Amino acid sequence: MYSLARVVEAQASRGYVKRIAGELEPDIEPTKHLAEADRTGSTILFRVRGSGLECVGGVINTREKLYELLGAGGDEEAYSKLSAALSGRAQDGFRVLGFSELFRPFEGSLTSLPAVRFYSIDGGRYVTSAIVIAKTPDLDSYNASIHRLMLLSERAVAIRLVPRHLYRIYELNRRSGAETRVAVVIGAHPLVELASSMSPPYGVFELELVEKLGGGPLEVAYTPAYGLPVPAHAAVVFEGRITGDLVKEGPFVDILGLPDRVRDQPVLAVDRVYVSKDPEYFHVILPGGVEHFLLMGFPRETAVWEAVRKVVPRVVKVRLTRGGCMWLHAVISISKESEGDGKSAIMAAFAAHPSLKHVVVVDEDIDPDNPEEVEWAIATRFQASRGLVVVRGARGSTLDPSSEDGLTDKVGVDATAPLNRRELFTRLRV
């Protein structure tokens, strides 16, 4: 069963879970506890004043927690699971359950949900774990993706749409004069959230990826009004319409720990709200926290691993680094067999994850998880005249404030030792 409550129960048995006493104010106070959970690797349970729903945060704020959910013993097994999930659709399909057996109408309104203002600069209270499911108007399929929602009123939120699949669906509907009917899911199993963070081709339903990630078919239910498939086990489901009305959304502190600018974004009008009949948790993800890094960055780290291993003999380790917020910086260790392998790895990484800004490639004796070792490799093995790659004016991340509308200069550093003089670059260890 893909239930977040079951995950929390299992983590509690391993000593991961900490309960915060009392009720937290919805403004800022949860942020402090979520940040502390990141530092300790804890999962925290808490309540927000004004809401009867119990919250959980830090569910996958370590690689160990993520790998346990994937049933993976290490990096390559975890990457292979994500790659396999993207390579084909579910074999067994979904197990379909009755919606009314699982959910009941919510007695409150959207303002009764434990939405949080995480930072004083935020434009409002936000839901950060919402999976939005919509039918593709041009294909017989669906799309699932995670979007931040800013609370506007008892029945409306602003939804941040980036130019990807849901935005395409919204535009296709808008051009035909239709609103985009959606189901919004909060408090789903972490592997459902991970699948919704991945980027399969348009027309591949992300929930179909869950089976290969978790090893069994996902249970779904179809919403009563719009007939949209949602995970059967979640804390909150609501049905609504992404309208043509626009509203100022933001600022919002995003993955880089910097405020994303205010934009005109669509209003999502909410028609019906449901909550689980069984105890489930409302998932709160700290913006710019480790859970945010892993959900957003780990699928891209997998893409970098997959791309680099096609152009070099062996990839030892790939890391989208914490300092780069698992988005802008990568360190890759390889087993080098030919001069030029380092540069091949750099270019493959940039192609696999276009938001990458800096890539460092090191030899297999350097651990990408150890910044001191990486710096030592740059200090002793890198010469700019032969190892520096500069790409000017390339597509990058619009989140990077130093870019110009997403155009950025990219730097690759080949900090691998020359093969014909490798003995001169071997570090002596005690």
* Digit-coded pLDDT (tens) for 104-151: 999 989 999 999 999 999 999 999 999 999 999 999 899 999 999 999
Round to whole Å and give the CA distance between 215 and 124: 39
Select which of 254, 260, 341, 363 is catalytic. Answer: 254
> Residue 103: what pLDDT?
98
What is the mean predicted confidence (pLDDT) over 204-209?
95
Q: Cite the residue boundaries of each domain of the chain with CATH code 2.30.110.10.
A: 4-291
Round to whole Å and give the CA distance between 395 and 198: 20
**What digits encode the pLDDT tens for the residues 371-380?**
999 999 999 9
**For residue 395, with 0-12 CB atoms within 10 Å meaning exposed, 13-18 middle and 19 or more buried, which class applies?**
middle
Element containing residue 195 per DSSP (H, E): helix 190-197
Mean pLDDT of the chain: 96
Round to whole Å and give the CA distance between 177 and 316: 51
CATH number of 309-425: 3.40.1670.10
What are the C-alpha distances in Å from 363 to residues 358, 368, 369?
17, 10, 13
Parallel, antiparallel, or unpaired for β 358-363 and 329-335?
A: parallel
> Residue 89: what pLDDT?
63
Share of the chain above pLDDT 70, in %: 99
Strand order of the sheet with strand 282-283? 17-24, 43-48, 54-57, 282-283
Residue of higher predicted confidence among 213 and 91: 213
**What digits encode the pLDDT tens for the residues 292-341?**
999 999 999 999 999 999 999 999 999 999 999 999 999 999 999 999 99
pLDDT-derived band at 92 (thresholds 50, 70, 90) equals low
Buried b (16+ CB within 10 A) or exposed e, 145-176: bbbbbbbbeebbbbbbbeeebbbbbbeebeee
Q: What is the DSSP letter of 390?
A: E
Integer-rounded Cα radius of gyration of the chain: 22
> Residue 184: what pLDDT?
98
CATH number of 4-291: 2.30.110.10
Count of all residues that appear for the chain in the document: 430
> Residue 64: what pLDDT?
97
What is the mean predicted confidence (pLDDT) over 82-92?
80
> Residue 359: what pLDDT?
98
What is the mean predicted confidence (pLDDT) over 211-235?
96
> Residue 408: what pLDDT?
96
Q: Supply φ then ψ for residue 47, to 5 degrees.
A: -120, 145
**What digits encode the pLDDT tens for the residues 237-295?**
999 999 999 999 999 999 999 999 899 999 999 999 999 999 999 999 999 999 999 99
Q: Cite the residue boundaries of each domain of the chain with CATH code 3.40.1670.10.
A: 309-425
What is the mean predicted confidence (pLDDT) over 198-222?
94
Is residue 254 annotated as a catalytic residue, yes or no?
yes
Nearest one of 154, 72, 56, 38 to 106, comparing CA atoms: 154
Tell me which residue has tokens 């600069």: 121
How many degrees, rounded to 5, is the angle at CA 121 between CA 120 and CA 125? 75
What are the C-alpha distances in Å from 188 to residues 123, 133, 232, 234, 369?
26, 13, 9, 5, 30
Round to whole Å and give the CA distance between 297 and 323: 12
For the cut 90, the answer to whether the pLDDT of residue 219 exceeds it is: yes
> Residue 90: what pLDDT?
63
Q: What's the whole-model pTM score?
A: 0.94
Could you tell me which residues are beta bridge partners of residue 391? Answer: 410
The DSSP code sequence of 92-144 is S-PEEE-HHHHEEE-SS-GGGS--BB-STT-SS-EE-S-EEEEE-TTSS-EEE
